[in-house]
Amino acid sequence: LRANFSVIQKETGFVNGLITVLHDNTEQEKIDMERREFVANVSHELRTPLTTMRSYLEALTDGAWQDTDLAPTFLDVTQTETERMIRLVNELLQLSKMDSRDYDLNEEIVEFNKFFNRIIDRFELSKSQHVHFVRIIPNEEYFVEIDTDKLTQVIDNIISNALKYSPDGGNIRFGVIVKDNLLQVMISDDGMGIPRENVERIFDRFYRVDRARARSMGGTGLGLAIAREMIQAHGGSIWAESEEGKGTTIFFTLPYELDGVGEWE
């Protein structure tokens, strides 16, 4: 809060009034602070892979390129870091597009359960871990109007996280229910969970519960922030419930009309 005082003085010098104007600066200050924090985060996220690459490239230049054991490993590191930076920059561009509303939802009508099952199938076929997939998806047809590319990206991100944090032999459960004109989707894991006080923050840009650990797994910390933007663009919401040591459940909703879907019925 900022206050401006104006003193009303007569020629005689006597003060006979005081005007106080109060400005509410808290919202603007919050935005400024968030922006500064964002720029600092981006810089940090880019500097880390760049300094790593510099030291590996220096070592290669200093002779490691002739070492047939070391050279491929060093090149591999620089490639991994380059890919991470490309991913990061692409995600940043995507977020900036969403911020400026410079995008169109390419919506089409799809049957959600079939669409969801296909994505789960893809992960089930390619996963390398010992994780069981449990589907609690009704044998019914729920038609929704969605941008399938964007929704695929959201679901991919949630499932990748669930797999990343799943213990060997754990379950990942997939659920779909219809609740008050909303389709509610659930993806839950038996992983390490998230400390209670941080659960809501996982949707913030660059937020990671364990920065080093998430980075080593290739994460950028932007996946769920993008997911939230995309779900909100569809008129839905996304949230998490988690218990440390027990697991995490991510929920999201999509608008759904029980008796057919408006115009096209």
Binding footprint of ligand ADP on the chain (CB under 6 A): 157, 161-162, 165, 189, 191-192, 194, 202, 207-210, 214, 219-225, 248
Other Cβ atoms within 10 Å of 263 Cβ, number: 6
Beta carbon of residue 131, minimum distance to ligand ADP (angstroms, whole number): 12
Tokens of residue 229, six digits: 């933007």
Beta carbon of residue 108, minimum distance to ligand ADP (angstroms, whole number): 26
- Report CA torsion sign: 120, 170, 225, 176: positive
On whether the CB atoms of residues 195 and 240 are closer than 8 A, the answer is no
SS3 48: helix
Q: Which of 78, 163, 149, 89 is nearest to 120 (CA)?
A: 163
Q: Would you give the DSSP letter of residue 66? A: G
**Maximum Cα–Cα distance across the chain:** 91
Q: How do 238-243 and 247-255 pair as beta strands? A: antiparallel
Cβ proximity to ligand ADP, 113 vs 242, nearer residue: 242
On whether the CB atoms of residues 228 and 203 are closer than 8 A, the answer is yes
Beta carbon of residue 215, minimum distance to ligand ADP (angstroms, whole number): 8
Cβ proximity to ligand ADP, 36 vs 246, nearer residue: 246
Q: Would you give the DSSP letter of residue 101? A: T
Nearest-CB residue to ligand ADP? Answer: 219
Cβ proximity to ligand ADP, 32 vs 37, nearer residue: 37
Q: Hunting for tokens 């029980």 — which residue is that?
A: 258
Cβ proximity to ligand ADP, 92 vs 225, nearer residue: 225
Cβ proximity to ligand ADP, 137 vs 240, nearer residue: 240
Beta carbon of residue 73, minimum distance to ligand ADP (angstroms, whole number): 24
Beta carbon of residue 80, minimum distance to ligand ADP (angstroms, whole number): 15
Cβ proximity to ligand ADP, 2 vs 132, nearer residue: 132
Beta carbon of residue 61, minimum distance to ligand ADP (angstroms, whole number): 32
Residue 6: strand pairing partners? 19
